[in-house]
Structure 1
Amino acid sequence: MYEIYSAYRNSRIVNHNRWSIAKEVNKLVDILVAGMQSELSIKKSSGYKYNMKTLIMELYHSHLTDKDQYIAYFRTKNKYDFKIGLIKGISENRYNKNPHISYTFFVGCVDYLASKGHIENNPGGQFRDDEGSAYGYLSRMKANESLISLWKEYNFNPDMITVFKPAETIILRGKEENVTYLFKDNEVTKKIKPLIDYLDKPRIVNMRKGIERYNRLLERTHIDVDVDCMSQSDKDTILDRLLHAKDKTKYTINLGAKQVYRVFNNGSFKEGGRFYGAWWIGCPSIVRKYITINGEPTAEIDYSGIHIHLLYALKGLNFPELKTDAYELIDNDPDRELNKLILLTALNVNTNQSTAKAVFKEARDNKTKHKYKLKKHKQVDDKLELLKQKHDQIKEYIAQGYGSILQYHDSKVIESLIEHYSKQDIPILTIHDSVICQAKYKDFVYDKMKRLYTDYINSALKCNTIYESIHPQARHSLQQYQKAYSAYSATLIPELNPVLAQQINHAGKMPVVEYPVIKIKAKTINANCSNVCHHAKRLAKIKAGNRIFLGKIKIEHKVLDNITSLSIIQ
């Protein structure tokens, strides 16, 4: 039974916003719904046509992305009541853009395709494995060969896939709550953060415009990852992680998932706000090293301990001026790594007890309990008290559930960074508090990240921190180039390298003056591409002007003849 569940885990939730305006799609939909009318004595066909089109295009998109992938969907009627939670006077659900989707029509179309053998349809269930752990899953479906043949017969192609309306890019979720429901005659309780509707105030409208501008830039940018050319040591590390992971057998990267959205929490636009949705956000860090942008190598630049810095900023203090390591309780503390885990965990929970539980879970999942010599929760409690004493100025925020508020502040800094580079048509990829950019822009992004962080804590949090640009002359030159040659700036920017190297102004060599400000770490990856890998082939097609459908990359471990190895499928 667990093997069945494992196969069903390769799935994604249904997207009711999938659509097409292609004549070929309409012809196939008409044929299928005509069959339903004939066999099921259906009188009104319009509702079935809307739902059949969404269903067919969802199955087609899923098949192109990953032939083995299932689509999870609901067979419960109340899950199709999309008007629940709407604000009075608003008729459209912002999270479900297709108003034609209904339980009767959609599930009816699923059942008809299943009856004709066009799809594999598996009702949801709940069961226990050999160890007694409970598992459950929604109903699953995927295309069979007969439907694939129909797509070919009607000349389907990826360009036909569209959306009914642009998806909402600003998500507001409520506070976590317990929801109890009957599932297969069993009472099941789950914790959820419900979606909340809201009014589009001017600030929200402007925020959405910024996300849409950024998404358009990402859409016209080729963002890839050269996994074939990973170093052997990195492949060995990934294999080891997969072999020792508690509940993971593979990493899946969906190269087509490039659009982002923001999620705010606890019913407030002052909590959360981080960017989600794009494939690189959930990509393992060891794989992110091999990301390319428009075929070029990249650098990853991240803020070091931004949440600690923000907490001090909330008190009007600049943490670097204290000249202390946030995670050391003694000089050269051997437990620094454990201290860091405890303190950062405590920022996202409400109590000391929750901190200890979360730390132990993290240590179990990552097989580090032995490394940290963790045996009792009291060890974590004692360390946390010492860390509170060290950070006496901000102890009122520790283990008090401030995580979502801190996320709001770091998301505002990242929002400014995205806005700045979107206007310059320079794609950057964000992973919460870090950024990936083309290596040639590393120095500029590094400088801008420090500048925007300093500007934010000074303006929004009333700090008084000084930051002097490390490369002011180069930045000025960049601005002049872009003003004069905006259409060609991407090719002219490398000409600024001598300026960066020499740092010369009218008075001679320009001194580098660093005031105490947040540390930023930058890593440039110099991966050696074989030029015969899948990455190189995709890039060659795109440079030749061909549009390709970017599907999934699967990185998993396989056993053959008692030999375990890493398998990369793309």
Structure 2
Amino acid sequence: MLLLNLFTVWSIDPKTKLGISLDANAYSGASRYRNPHLTYRQFEAAFRGLEALGFLKVTNPGYQFKATGEGQVTRVVGTEKLGLLLQEETQLSPIDVVPSPTRETILLRDNSGRMVEYDDTEDTTRMRNNLGRINHVLRQNWPDIEISRDEWVNLQERLEAKEDRVPIDLGSRYLSRIFNNNSFLMGGRFYGGWWQNVPSDLRPYIRINGKLTVEIDYSSIHPRMLFAMEGLEAPDDPYDIGLDPRFREVVKQTFNALINASTNRINPVSSFDADAIGMSWPEFKKVVRQAFAPIAKYFGTGEGIRLQRVDSDILEKVLVYFAERGIPCLPIHDSVIMHHGYTDELEAVMTQAFEEVTGIAGKVKGTLSVQRAREARGNPDGAWDIEDVLRPDPSFRDYDDRLAAWHRKGWGKA
């Protein structure tokens, strides 16, 4: 386990750090979140041995403040010696690293974000079984992103610069549902897929088994739910409140911040620019509240996290529908990425699932993926011949090698 995790972060970027707990208490006790086959004595022996042999290096020792309980686990990196050994001697690649099918997938957190224990119910058992079917299909297929080596490095640097994003690990294609605030009525969205960290401008380059994809998402899902709860029909575009179309995104972010917050006192959202909009943050927030007056009573109540349980149940229906047919779907909260050939069926299934759960008609919109070959070869408008099509592009070698390895190993045929 330690070797595979070190290889994984080394494959992402040799500078990527791996968090490891050296607290013996983390390896004991009867917890649904702990690997029962992994003991501290075994783990520490392997850790110290790899460190002594020069295969891993501690970059940041772990610590914990007794007064507050806050701290950080030990951070390590895999050395070049280890990376080259595993890559050259074993020919290991990211497609070989698959998650354990027995690990816990229904996660419950408290108000501080810490994992808490719970007793299973009929609902949690059903959700876990559904996730088992969904993850089984994901393990048998290979989602990837068709970008060049330079673009890959740039993407990882972009993600490392953001506090709410993590580097892309292509082996992370195993989903969990995370519930919040000690309640299975709050949250429940699907997490764990690497594609969820890809910025929107690069998502059109996501592939499944080398095939082009489509992303279909629910349009204005939470405003539509809240209007329905009040017995009202939502506007065609709830985020169009009469301002310049350039500010639609800041309206959307402000609305989401207001329904997710437990008070009406929220900080300016990341896209807010007082000079561009021509009003202060308090003034802008007031305009947004007035535009959503029929549902403004939900602002500052934390209703957003309760709505996440509803939208995650909707998405579960969609994912299970396709999983039962062996077709992989890549969820991103309120959207789904899958093979573009299923576009019409996906739209129909998503619309039906929304109506089954909420009782109102849903609205979806789609974005097709794009072909990279033309722009990669610097010939966006010119005619191709067969040699152009078949000639490999060296800048995309990493992607091509992974896809070839996937087909060569016969994955997806089980």
TM, length-normalised to structure 1: 0.59
Given the superposition, is the C-alpha separation of residues 408 and 297 from structure 1 closer, same or farther in structure 2, using an over 3 Å criterion? same
1:292 matched to 2:136? The reply is no
1:394 matched to 2:341? The reply is no
Q: Which residue pairs with 1:522 in the alignment?
A: 366
Among 268, 271, 274, the alignment partner of 1:363 is: 271
**Contact residue 222 and residue 307 of structure 2 kept, 8 A:** yes
AA paired with 2:227?
Y
Among 115, 121, 139, the alignment partner of 2:74 is: 139
State the shift of 1:296 in Å.
1.4
State the shift of 1:399 in Å.
2.0
AA paired with 1:383?
F
| Aligned-partner SS, 2:103 | coil
Q: Which residue pairs with 1:416 in the alignment?
A: 317
1:342 matched to 2:254? The reply is yes
Q: Tell me, in whole angstroms, the C-alpha distance in 2 between the residues paired with 1:341 and 1:217.
A: 33
Q: Which residue pairs with 2:385 in the alignment?
A: none
Q: Which residue pairs with 1:95 in the alignment?
A: 33
Q: Which has the higher strand share?
A: 1
1:265 matched to 2:180? The reply is yes
AA paired with 1:339?
V
Given the superposition, is the C-alpha separation of residues 143 and 519 from structure 1 closer, same or farther in structure 2, using an over 3 Å criterion? closer
* Cα deviation digits, residues 28-60 of structure 1 (max 9, x gap): xxxxxxxxxxxxxxxxxxxxxxxxxxx345434
**Contact residue 97 and residue 164 of structure 1 kept, 8 A:** no
State the shift of 1:438 in Å.
1.2
Given the superposition, is the C-alpha separation of residues 526 and 240 from structure 1 closer, same or farther in structure 2, using an over 3 Å criterion? closer
Q: Which residue pairs with 1:166 in the alignment?
A: 102
**Contact residue 97 and residue 165 of structure 1 kept, 8 A:** no
Given the superposition, is the C-alpha separation of residues 387 and 60 from structure 1 closer, same or farther in structure 2, using an over 3 Å criterion? closer
State the shift of 1:152 in Å.
8.8
| Aligned-partner SS, 2:148 | helix
Q: Unpaired runs of 5+ in structure 1?
A: 1-17, 19-54, 84-91, 127-135, 177-192, 459-464, 466-516, 549-570
Q: Tell me, in whole angstroms, the C-alpha distance in 2 between the residues paired with 1:525 and 1:118.
A: 40
**Contact residue 342 and residue 380 of structure 1 kept, 8 A:** no
Q: Tell me, in whole angstroms, the C-alpha distance in 1 between the residues paired with 2:363 and 2:73.
A: 45
Residue correspondence of structure 1 range 389-538 to structure 2 within 5 A: 389-458=290-359, 465=360, 517-529=361-373, 532=392, 533-534=396-397, 535-538=399-402
Q: Which residue pairs with 2:6 in the alignment?
A: 59
Given the superposition, is the C-alpha separation of residues 347 and 141 from structure 1 closer, same or farther in structure 2, using an over 3 Å criterion? same
Given the superposition, is the C-alpha separation of residues 401 and 204 from structure 1 closer, same or farther in structure 2, using an over 3 Å criterion? same
Among 70, 90, 108, the alignment partner of 2:17 is: 70
Given the superposition, is the C-alpha separation of residues 82 and 337 from structure 1 closer, same or farther in structure 2, using an over 3 Å criterion? same
Given the superposition, is the C-alpha separation of residues 391 and 436 from structure 1 closer, same or farther in structure 2, using an over 3 Å criterion? same
Among 264, 267, 270, the alignment partner of 1:352 is: 264
Q: Tell me, in whole angstroms, the C-alpha distance in 2 between the residues paired with 1:295 and 1:272.
A: 33
Q: Tell me, in whole angstroms, the C-alpha distance in 1 between the residues paired with 2:172 and 2:118.
A: 26
| Aligned-partner SS, 1:300 | strand
Q: Tell me, in whole angstroms, the C-alpha distance in 1 between the residues paired with 2:218 and 2:122.
A: 30
Given the superposition, is the C-alpha separation of residues 433 and 118 from structure 1 closer, same or farther in structure 2, using an over 3 Å criterion? closer
**C-alpha RMSD over aligned residues:** 3.7
AA paired with 2:254?
I
| Aligned-partner SS, 1:352 | coil
| Aligned-partner SS, 2:222 | helix
1:542 matched to 2:402? The reply is no
Q: Which residue pairs with 2:120 in the alignment?
A: 200
Q: Tell me, in whole angstroms, the C-alpha distance in 1 between the residues paired with 2:285 and 2:342.
A: 40
**Contact residue 541 and residue 547 of structure 1 kept, 8 A:** no
Q: Tell me, in whole angstroms, the C-alpha distance in 1 between the residues paired with 2:297 and 2:83.
A: 59
**Contact residue 74 and residue 138 of structure 1 kept, 8 A:** yes
Q: Tell me, in whole angstroms, the C-alpha distance in 2 between the residues paired with 1:411 and 1:325.
A: 22
Given the superposition, is the C-alpha separation of residues 117 and 427 from structure 1 closer, same or farther in structure 2, using an over 3 Å criterion? closer
**Contact residue 99 and residue 174 of structure 2 kept, 8 A:** no
AA paired with 1:94?
R
Q: Which residue pairs with 1:564 in the alignment?
A: none
Given the superposition, is the C-alpha separation of residues 211 and 240 from structure 1 closer, same or farther in structure 2, using an over 3 Å criterion? closer
**Contact residue 216 and residue 366 of structure 2 kept, 8 A:** yes
AA paired with 2:252?
K
Q: Which residue pairs with 1:106 in the alignment?
A: 43
**Contact residue 156 and residue 168 of structure 2 kept, 8 A:** no
**Contact residue 98 and residue 139 of structure 2 kept, 8 A:** no
| Aligned-partner SS, 1:215 | helix
AA paired with 2:108?
L
Greater length-normalized contact order (CA 8 Å, ≥ 6 residues apart): 2
The structure with the larger Rg is: 1
Q: Tell me, in whole angstroms, the C-alpha distance in 1 between the residues paired with 2:297 and 2:177.
A: 28
Q: Unpaired runs of 5+ in structure 2?
A: 64-70, 378-389
Given the superposition, is the C-alpha separation of residues 528 and 201 from structure 1 closer, same or farther in structure 2, using an over 3 Å criterion? same
AA paired with 1:309?
R
Q: Tell me, in whole angstroms, the C-alpha distance in 1 between the residues paired with 2:185 and 2:61.
A: 37
Q: Tell me, in whole angstroms, the C-alpha distance in 2 between the residues paired with 1:541 and 1:105.
A: 33
Q: Which residue pairs with 1:47 in the alignment?
A: none
Given the superposition, is the C-alpha separation of residues 412 and 145 from structure 1 closer, same or farther in structure 2, using an over 3 Å criterion? closer
AA paired with 2:200?
S
TM, length-normalised to structure 2: 0.79
State the shift of 1:520 in Å.
1.6
Aligned length in residues: 382
Q: Which residue pairs with 2:229 in the alignment?
A: 314
AA paired with 1:170?
I
Greater Cα offset, 441-450 or 268-277 = 441-450
| Aligned-partner SS, 2:207 | strand
Q: Tell me, in whole angstroms, the C-alpha distance in 2 between the residues paired with 1:255 and 1:351.
A: 38
